[in-house]
Structures are given as structure tokens and as C-alpha cells.
Amino acid sequence: MVRLRIDRVIEPGNVEATREVVCHRGSVVVLPLLDDGRVLLVRQFRYATGKSLWELVAGGIEQGEAPRAAALRELLEETGYRAGSLDRLFSFYPSPGFLSERMVLFQARGLVRSKACPESDERIRLGRFRRAQLRSMLRSGKIEDGKTLVGVLWLLGFKRDS
């Protein structure tokens, strides 16, 4: 899924430098909206942080897989919901200083309950949050994951009345 590349480069001003790049195929983020307006978040333990975090649905794009297919797969795996509609919102680089990963954010609507099928190493808890709860979680620092901050801030800033 990832590999490390170390490059010797010439920076502006003819300065030689070494740059480490973590090469990544890319990933998807899904903002799942229930019919009543609540947002689905997943809570799972993240080894690198040493704690459990509230996050939007997300996952890596498999070799040869389209981002849309990856988003639908991750939504079902992590939440047990299928999307009636899936709209691509935008893409972004979560950490462009050393990581080539590009994340594609989708919004899922018309959710239909199915059966979750998380990967064997995933222990996921599902939460359903109203926008006021999300605002409170942002203010209190309960949402710490970058991709989730991007998606939730987008929702609250641009979709306030919908």
C-alpha cells in the first residue's frame, strides 16, 4: 500500500536537499448523511495515536479500483449501509510535505441499512450525530482526525441549510 522514496533534489536557489516521500495510491473519505440529517461517524482505535478517534468513513483505494467503488465498499464495510446516491465533492492532500496520498471526499445519501463487514483488524463503533452535536465536538476538540475535520467543516460551512 505504501513505500518510502528518498530523493536528492535541487531546491530554488540551487540548494541541494534530501526529501523523503511516502508513496501512497490514495484513499477515499465518505460523509454519510442519514435521511434525518444526522451524520454517521465511526470510532476506532488508531495505533499511531494510541487512542480511539471519531472519524468519517475512509479507506485506501485498491490497485485498479475506481475511487467511487472504493467509497461504496468502505461505506458498507465500516457502517453496514449502502448509498442510494454518492457525490464526489473534492479531493485534497492530507500531508503534502512528505506524503503523496490524495484523498477524495464523497457525500453519501439515501442510505439503506445492510450488514457491516469490517476487516478482521477493525473494531468499529458507529455513531449518529446531528449538526449541533458535530459543532460541539469541533469546539471541544473531540474530533481530532484531519480528514474528518475537512469533511465536517465543509458540511457545516457550505451545507448549513440543507
Residue 115: the pLDDT is 79
Among 3.90.79.10, 4.10.520.10, 3.40.50.2000, 3.30.565.10, name the CATH number for the domain at 26-158: 3.90.79.10
Taking a C-beta distance cutoff of 8 angstroms, is the pair 32, 114 a contact? no
Average of pLDDT values for 42-69?
A: 96
Q: What is the pLDDT of residues 99-122, one digit of tens each?
A: 899 999 999 999 999 976 766 676
Q: Which residue has the higher pLDDT, 19 or 1?
A: 19
**In sequence order, what are the residues at sequence separation of 6 or more whose Cβ sits closer than 8 angstroms to the Cβ of residue 156?**
131, 134, 135, 138
| Grid coordinates belonging to 155 | 458540511
- Any bridge partners for residue 31, and if so which? 107
Q: Which residue has the higher pLDDT, 34 or 123?
A: 34
Q: What is the pLDDT of residues 25-54, one digit of tens each?
A: 999 999 999 999 999 999 999 999 999 999
Mean pLDDT, rounded, of the chain: 92
Q: What is the pTM of this model?
A: 0.88
Average of pLDDT values for 136-140?
A: 95
For the chain, give every domain's residue range.
Answer: 26-158
Is the predicted pLDDT of residue 158 greater than 70, yes or no? no
Is the predicted pLDDT of residue 160 greater than 70, yes or no? no
